[in-house]
Amino acid sequence: MDFVLYDPRTTAIVGIIELDDPSHRRRERRRRDRFLNESLSSAKVPLLRIKTAKAYDLTALRNSIAQISARNSNSPFPTPLDSQNFPLMQHQTRLSP
C-alpha cells in the first residue's frame, strides 16, 4: 500500500492507493497483490491501482479518487474533485527521475 486515504476527523480508512511498478509482474509480488486485493475487498476498503508513470493525468486521478469517495458517504474528500478544491493540483505532473 502506497497511500491510505482516511477521514482526518475519525481516522477511518476511506480507500487505499497502490502504485504498480514493474516489480508487480514478479510471481511473489503477484501473490502479495492477490492477498491485498482479497483482504481489502473482504474489509470493503476500496483499492485504487495505478501503474507507475513519468507523468500522470491529474484530472483522471481526481476522478478515480472521487469514485472512492462516492463509495463512502462519510468521506471527507469533495466530490467531484476539481482544481477549485485542490488549487495546487495542475492537470499533469511530472515526477523527477
Q: What is the pLDDT of residues 17-69, one digit of tens each?
A: 988 888 888 888 889 989 999 999 999 899 888 888 888 888 888 888 888 77
The count of structural domains within the chain is 1
Cα separation, 39 vs 9, whole angstroms: 25
Omega of the bond prior to 8 within 30 degrees of 0, cis?
no
pLDDT for residue 88 = 34
pLDDT for residue 72 = 65
* Three-state SS at 57: strand
**In this model, does residue 78 exceed pLDDT 60?**
no
Structural domain of residue 33, as residue ranges?
3-94
Tell me if the pTM is above 0.75.
no
pLDDT for residue 38 = 92
Mean pLDDT calculated for residue range 74-87: 42
**Phi, psi for 39 (deg, rounded to 5):** -65, -45
